[in-house]
Structure 1
Amino acid sequence: MLNQKIKDNWKWILIPIILLVELLIDDYVMPHVYKFVFHLFSFNPVEHFYTYLNIYKIVSIIVICLLNYWIIKQKIFFKPSETKVGWLVFLVVCFTIVMVTIEHKNFFIALDVGAIAALPEEIMFRGIILAFVLKLMTRKSTSQWRVIFSLVISALIFGGFHYINLSSQSFSFTSLQVVNAAALGMILGAVYIKSGTIIVPMALHFIYDFLVTLVKGMSATNYTSVQSMQWVGLSVYVVIYSAVALSIINYKPSDNKILPKLKNL
């Protein structure tokens, strides 16, 4: 595999490689396959947008897993190191929120959007990229600044990757989304580092998108202009998200469950 053939000092190049290849396959190769198959079965993706979106995301998960196997070979940790009451309570709260909103008019689309956003993105950006960056950064030292730097790098990559939405959104709105995603990525990465299981950031990511879609619904495109006050509001969120993320990983750093797992690989 590619990871085994590249010397340690050059393994950083695997991150842009997997991102670029995933982007090329998902957004340039697969659309031609979809076009052929959809034409064969007289399927109109415009009329059945959400069905198409689900197909796209399912294929994305398969592509991400295969690319990880061929290029990076990063183990994704699902099993918790130990049972923590706090994480279990959080998962129960997420489940409760879903159940009490079941009669909302946007429930099923929110449920779908939450799932198809959380699964591929958490596998890619926390399960693979964050863990791989952490492994590279903490080979010689597990000092806290290396953990924080790894978290920031993965969050920026996660945020920047949202520029792929430019095909259906304005640049200003997409940029707003990119910054928000990067800030959210800090928290998602922090809970993966602390919990040692991808299930927790998946649940957090799911409930975030679920609630946003539940309240606002979902549109296929967004070309609205961004007001200056929206940037001010976002700046406040960035500060809060970043502070929360740093508090999570700096609270009892020896209890960051992901690091021992990476060491044992």
Structure 2
Amino acid sequence: MLKKYWSIVLFTVGMFFLAALVNILLEIVSGVAHIPEVYGSYIQYIIIMILYVYINRKWVHQEIHFKSKVPWKEQIPGLIFIVGDIIYLFSTNSDFEMYVTGIGYSIGSAVTEEYFIRGIVLIALLHLAKDKGVWGTLLAIFISSVLFGAMHIITMLANQLGWGEIITAFSMGMVYAALYIATGTILWPMFIHLVQDLVVYLLPHSNFTMPTIWYFVVCLSITLIILIPYFRREDNQVFYS
């Protein structure tokens, strides 16, 4: 199904509007039924995840990799970043209740977005670009990250945020993609995505902020560092082949 670049873009846009429709309908139902916001959020992500899994199994047939086949030594740069991100999370000085609430809000977006963008879209792009070597991999990461950033336009508009929201999403999209490629398992991108969303939720309690442009530069640097072992493979083997 996803054999051309344009078909991947159209598929992503279609799924984006499907998720937005689910969100709108659930907001209407939640308002009528007086469902608490947090429960409505859980229901929304469960429905979206069911739709993603069903559509993937029914039409796309993209294997989602949960168990890594990549040697541990090649995952070291990615794992170092993961540890650093966890340390940063706990620098927010928030109480336990806020962490629990934040996880509740963050886990849905982390699982659904990673399953769709990295699990389906990124791998489809990598298959198309696999004959282009390093530049093909970087192209796949770039396109998937642009699509990931575009998915956050509604969030930007709904919360009256600036374009920095899109740039931030694009920047982290590169890191999530690199983690999936370097580790061979979708679980690490899901986990780090959860951590990052939790950091955003707890941001008012954080001791550290960074200008958007530097955030992009840091994420780009992290992406390239994580991918170093992947690019140095002599046998050119990839887990998604």
- Same fold (TM > 0.5): yes
Q: Aligned ranges for residues 87-236 of structure 1 at < 5 Å?
A: 103-138=95-130, 141=131, 143-166=133-156, 168-170=158-160, 173-216=161-204, 233-236=211-214
Say which of 4, 10, 17 aligns to 2:10.
17
Question: In structure 1, what residue type is equivalent to 2:123?
Answer: A
- TM-score by length of structure 2 reads 0.81
What is the percentage of aligned positions where both structures have the same residue? Answer: 21
Q: Residue 58 of structure 2: SS of its match in structure 1?
A: helix
Q: What number of residue pairs does the alignment pair up?
A: 234
Give the Cα separation in 2 of the matches to 1:195 and 1:236. Answer: 26
Retained in 2: the 8 A contact 1:249–1:256? no
Question: In structure 1, what residue type is equivalent to 2:163?
Answer: S
TM-superposed CA distance for 1:13, in Å, is 3.1
1:46-83 CA-to-partner distances (Å, cap 9, x unmatched) read: xx111111111111111112222334221110011056
Retained in 2: the 8 A contact 1:194–1:256? no
Question: Whose radius of gyration is greater, 1 or 2?
Answer: 1
Retained in 2: the 8 A contact 1:129–1:154? yes
Q: More relative contact order in 1 or in 2 (CA 8 Å, sep 6+)?
A: 2
Retained in 2: the 8 A contact 1:18–1:68? no
Question: In structure 2, what residue type is equivalent to 1:234?
Answer: T
- Structure 1's 257 and 155: CA in aligned 2 closer, same or farther, altered over 3 A? farther
Give the Cα separation in 1 of the matches to 2:22 and 2:176. Answer: 30
Partner of 2:43: 55
Retained in 2: the 8 A contact 1:189–1:201? yes
TM-superposed CA distance for 1:167, in Å, is 5.0
- Structure 1's 250 and 84: CA in aligned 2 closer, same or farther, altered over 3 A? closer
1:125-166 CA-to-partner distances (Å, cap 9, x unmatched) read: 11111111001111xx25111111111111111011111225
Give the Cα separation in 1 of the matches to 2:86 and 2:203. Answer: 17
Retained in 1: the 8 A contact 2:118–2:176? yes
232-241 or 123-132, which moves further after superposition? Answer: 232-241
Give the Cα separation in 1 of the matches to 2:23 and 2:109. Answer: 19
Q: CA RMSD in A?
A: 3.4
Query: Which consecutive residues of structure 2, in runs of 5 or more, have no partner in the other structure?
Result: none
- Structure 1's 30 and 234: CA in aligned 2 closer, same or farther, altered over 3 A? closer
Give the Cα separation in 2 of the matches to 1:154 and 1:210. Answer: 22
- Structure 1's 98 and 239: CA in aligned 2 closer, same or farther, altered over 3 A? closer
Q: Aligned ranges for residues 33-72 of structure 1 at < 5 Å?
A: 35=28, 43-45=33-35, 48-72=36-60
Give the Cα separation in 1 of the matches to 2:233 and 2:197. Answer: 28
Give the Cα separation in 2 of the matches to 1:234 and 1:33. Answer: 33
- TM-score by length of structure 1 reads 0.74
Give the Cα separation in 2 of the matches to 1:176 and 1:154. Answer: 18
